[in-house]
Amino acid sequence: MLRLVRTGAEGEGSCADIMEIRRPDDLVDIANLGLTLAEAKRLLAGVQREIVAAQAREHADRRPTCPHCSGACRVKDYRDHAVATLFGQVTVRLPRFRCAACGGIEAGLDWPSHCRSTPELDRLQAHLSALMTYRTAADALGQMFPVDAGKHHETLRRHTLKVGEALGECATIRPVTAASAVVVTLDSTFIRSCGDGERHLEVRVGNVETQSDGRQVFGAVAKADTDIRALIRRNLDAVGRTRNTALTAFTDGCPGLRGILADAGVTTRPMLDWFHIAMRLQHLKQFANGLSDDDPERAAAKTVIVAEVERLHWRIWNGKAKDAQVSIDRIRAVMHHFRGEPDGRRSIAPSRKLWTALQALDHYLTGQSASLVNYAERHRAGLQVGTAITEGTANFLVNRRMNKSQQMRWSRRGADLLLQVRCAVYNGTLGSGFGQRFQPANDPYPPMTIAA
Ligand SMILES: [Zn+2]
């Protein structure tokens, strides 16, 4: 039997029986070792109920002074108030006080109005929802904690969006030390919309990085309430940007993003993020290696193409993007050997994919020529060549959670607020409200995958 005993200055006081625990008294079966999850949940819920009941009794004994006339208050009546907590739904017996002098009613609580759950439960729901779907988060929470009320996925969604809204109102804390250099990356991606008007919503994401403090990520859905320009400024402030900070910017080359950066005070011309080029080259390499070599002519052509793709990579990496055209032309010159290559049962022929990817890369390089730099030289000098997030900020921040399946559709506001929570989780700024901070889920030391 588990009994909760109240102790105080006067020694032991009242006690309450929580539950009876019956476990086998031998260890023949490993499954019998210690408490089961079901027992632990009942235990937590039982302890929670007793603690809340004791707190309510203490609260009723306290008798606040009247805020209007400073008169003495007496208990007028009690109301039962249901609150969802991480350790079960509790019914709090809340006293209402009446001032003996002026008759004013006072509750003696600082709770937010219509409060139906504890902030800790709300924040944990938001934290889990930032990492997995609302449905999975609700399920995970129910598996581990004796949460009985507020575990419906719609409730999780509502609480998460509320937390997201509150995050937008938080003040920026500037660090004590100024950052001498900050790297800003801005990128964009799309998620499916559930609205009637548009099929897709544009999401802008980015990160700011300093040499000492790692990284802060941020993001906002276009045309939602969160202003991406203000967000960039806030994030720059949060990592210690001053007037003397050297700013370096990377984008995927989209002119819209360049404009946003300029509006946010990043006036240096952004460079093309090596990550985006490396991705395209990676695809090109895959297609080249997948080419058929079933006759000597094709085999010879494939050898030329594989070598030229390699050279293309080297040229762009070394800032010789103008010479990239030579490689592209050489590949095009031997592509006719693969004419008529049949498509696979489930896929398009590698030669056709290669042709399309090559056209796209050619177009990309031509359009972005002014934003290309000598990446090799920067890398040798210990400077960044793009985002340090290995899979790119958009994948890392958005696609992993919000583009997982074809079925996921988003409202502009819902996606925007969830993204605020997701960023806070990765930045480690989603506090629990009890002075403790969650560990940032954002790895400050990612493995470098510079494909050079
Ligand atoms: Zn009064």
Cα–Cα distance between 448 and 28 in angstroms, integer? 49
Contact assessment for residue 209 and residue 182, using Cβ atoms and an 8 Å cutoff: yes
Ligand 1 geometric centre to CA of 91 (Å): 29
Ligand 1 geometric centre to CA of 68 (Å): 5
Residue 140 CA: distances (Å) to CA of 87, 162, 276: 14, 20, 35
Which DSSP helix (H) or strand (E) runs through 184?
strand 181-192
* Residue given tokens 């000597």 in the structure block: 296
Beta-bridge mates of residue 17: 3
3-state secondary structure of 242: coil
Cα–Cα distance between 37 and 43 in angstroms, integer? 10
- Residue pLDDT, tens place only, 243-268: 899 999 999 888 889 899 999 999 88
3-state secondary structure of 265: coil
Residue 89 CA: distances (Å) to CA of 76, 112, 145, 147: 25, 18, 11, 7
Reading the block at residue 426, the tokens are 């990765």
Listed in sequence order, the residues at least 6 apart from 294 whose beta carbon sits closer than 8 Å to its beta carbon are: none
- Residue pLDDT, tens place only, 145-198: 988 776 789 999 999 999 999 888 877 777 888 888 999 999 999 999 998 788
240 — phi, psi (to 5°)? 95, 35
Ligand 1 geometric centre to CA of 105 (Å): 8
Please list, residue by residue across 316-344, b when 16 or more beta carbons sit within 10 angstroms of its beta carbon and e when fewer do: bbeebbeebeebbeebeebbebbeebeee
Angle at CA of residue 410, ends 226 and 201, nearest 5°:
60
Measured from the Cβ of residue 405, the count of other Cβ atoms closer than 10 Å reads: 7
Ligand 1 geometric centre to CA of 352 (Å): 84
Reading the block at residue 382, the tokens are 């210990």
Ligand 1 geometric centre to CA of 72 (Å): 7
Ligand 1 geometric centre to CA of 104 (Å): 5
Ligand 1 geometric centre to CA of 301 (Å): 94
Ligand 1 geometric centre to CA of 113 (Å): 22
Ligand 1 geometric centre to CA of 61 (Å): 18
Ligand 1 geometric centre to CA of 329 (Å): 89
Ligand 1 geometric centre to CA of 73 (Å): 8
* Residue given tokens 């009994």 in the structure block: 3
Rounded to two decimals, what is the model's pTM?
Answer: 0.82
Angle at CA of residue 353, ends 351 and 354, nearest 5°:
60
Cα–Cα distance between 350 and 331 in angstroms, integer? 14
Cα–Cα distance between 167 and 51 in angstroms, integer? 30
Q: Strand 246-251 relative to strand 181-192: parallel, antiparallel, unpaired?
A: parallel
Q: List, in sequence order, every beta strand (DSSP E) within 226-348.
A: 246-251, 271-272
Ligand 1 geometric centre to CA of 57 (Å): 23
Reading the block at residue 428, the tokens are 């480690």
pLDDT in tens, the chain (452 residues): 788 888 877 777 788 888 888 888 888 999 899 999 999 999 999 999 999 999 999 888 888 888 889 888 999 999 999 999 999 999 999 999 999 889 888 888 888 888 899 988 988 999 999 999 999 999 999 999 988 776 789 999 999 999 999 888 877 777 888 888 999 999 999 999 998 788 899 999 999 988 876 688 999 999 999 999 999 999 998 888 888 999 999 998 888 898 999 999 998 889 999 988 999 999 999 999 998 888 899 999 999 999 999 999 999 999 998 888 899 999 999 988 888 777 777 778 888 899 999 999 999 988 888 889 999 999 999 888 988 777 788 888 998 899 877 778 999 999 999 999 999 998 888 864 433 344 555 544 443 444 44
Contact assessment for residue 225 and residue 244, using Cβ atoms and an 8 Å cutoff: no
Ligand 1 geometric centre to CA of 115 (Å): 26
29 — phi, psi (to 5°)? -105, 125
Ligand 1 geometric centre to CA of 256 (Å): 60
Cα–Cα distance between 59 and 56 in angstroms, integer? 5
Ligand 1 geometric centre to CA of 67 (Å): 7
Cα–Cα distance between 226 and 431 in angstroms, integer? 20
265 — phi, psi (to 5°)? 95, 5
Q: Which amino acid is at 253?
A: G
